[in-house]
Amino acid sequence: MKLLIIGNNSRFFHLKEFGEELKKNGEQYKLIYDVDFLASFFNFTLKNRKCNEFRRVLNDFKPDIVLLDRLSNIALPVLKAAIPLVLLLRGNYWEEARSSKETVYNSPQKRFYFFMKQRFVDKCFRESTLILPISKYLDGIVRERYPNKSIKMLYADGRNPSDWYPQKGMNLKHPCVGLLQGANIWEKTKEMLTLAKVLEAMPNVMFYWAGDGPYRDQILPVLKKYDNFKWLGSLQYPDQVRQFLTEIDVYALVSGLEGLGQTLIEASLMKKPVVATNVGGIPELIEDDKTGFLVDKGDYDSWIRKLSILITDNEKASEMSRKNYNFIKDNFSWETIARKFCELIKPYSKLE
């Protein structure tokens, strides 16, 4: 089988790992950036040229299946060419779109673009060959919206456990809690405001946030008032991320919306005790009070209590992190995911 994988630069590192694991299963793959073949919605001349370049890729590689890692209009030539199209659904697109409409699309031109994008996205879902939601949570959402589609759940947010090892290089003040998350979607990011009361109640614990995004400026003015909070900005991946996760005592994912929770996977493989908001697919990664702690949205008292337990009770923190490491290693390695992907995708290849 020849698989063309299309993704964005933020996922390229992991998609390449995925592709290399597929090769071990006897599959061929080609990985390309979607942005190399996309142009502004209103720049028709460039759009046509980029589309022709992409058609040449299809003609030269002749894929049996195209895997689209994020929704973009690069799917249109694939559908037109009648090549089986597989959509990897990583997040609650509809909730993210609702949030973006309320916060980003605030001009007539942007609202028109938003409307056209929704039409395109619906076309992609309706005409795709297969939809692969990466969690049971997303599986339920997409089945409700497209009950007649072929949908197969696949935990497709993998890591190579051997890549996640202690790496020195960062000095932080202890005890400390680490957060590693972007600020690109308001519905996710605004939950971080819950930390204000946590910071106030835990003055002797440092909180370090690594990440960036357009909603950074809605978060930093609130949290940087506290001496025990520090923003580190974006970290180079994967070395600085490993250094950060090596140094912290507890990992926290304070999010209001998650398809699954990829940073929880990395923190777990680094054998760090974890606490996360009980939303989306996160409960599929953490069994509350056994492999980590879950906290309801806005429940700052629970954040204070559960973070305090993991910081002071080393035995419990170690036991939880060991159990979660084993669970993540067994279920979220690229080796496991690639094998399951090949099994799921075989009936849909145009070779069949």
Locate the domains of the chain by residue range.
2-158+333-348, 161-331
At residue 118, the pLDDT reads 84
Q: For 181, which DSSP code?
A: -
Mean pLDDT of the chain: 92
How does residue 49 score in pLDDT terms, banded at 50, 70 and 90? confident
The candidate with the shortest Cα–Cα distance to 65, out of 123, 128, 17, is: 128
pTM over 0.85: yes
Domains 2-158+333-348 and 161-331 belong to one CATH topology = yes
**pLDDT score of 207 more than 70:** yes
Q: Would you call 10 helix, strand, or coil by DSSP?
A: coil
Q: Does domain 161-331 have CATH number 3.40.50.2000?
A: yes
Average pLDDT over residues 93-108: 81
Cα distance between residue 149 and residue 81, in whole Å: 20
**pLDDT value at position 350?**
55
Going across the sheet that includes 274-277, the strands are 229-233, 206-210, 176-180, 250-253, 274-277, 293-295
36-59 core/surface letters (b: 16 or more CB in 10 A; e: else): ebbbeeeeeeebeebbeebeebbe
- Tokens in use for 63? 């894929």
Measured distance CA(172)–CA(236) in Å, rounded: 17
Q: Using alpha carbons only, give the angle 337, 339, 340 rounded to the nearest 5 degrees.
A: 65
Q: Kindly tell me the burial class for residue 97, based on how many C-beta atoms sit within 10 Å of its own C-beta (0-12, 13-18, 19 or more).
A: middle
> pLDDT-based confidence at 41, cuts 50/70/90?
low
How would you classify the pairing of strands 2-7 and 65-68? Answer: parallel
Q: What is the mean pLDDT of the segment spanning 189-217?
A: 97
CATH placement of domain 2-158+333-348:
3.40.50.2000
Q: Which token pair is 349?
A: 């290849």
Q: How confident is the model at residue 39 (pLDDT cuts 50, 70, 90)?
A: low
Q: Supply 53's token pair.
A: 């370049």
Q: Find tokens 């072929």 and name the residue.
A: 150
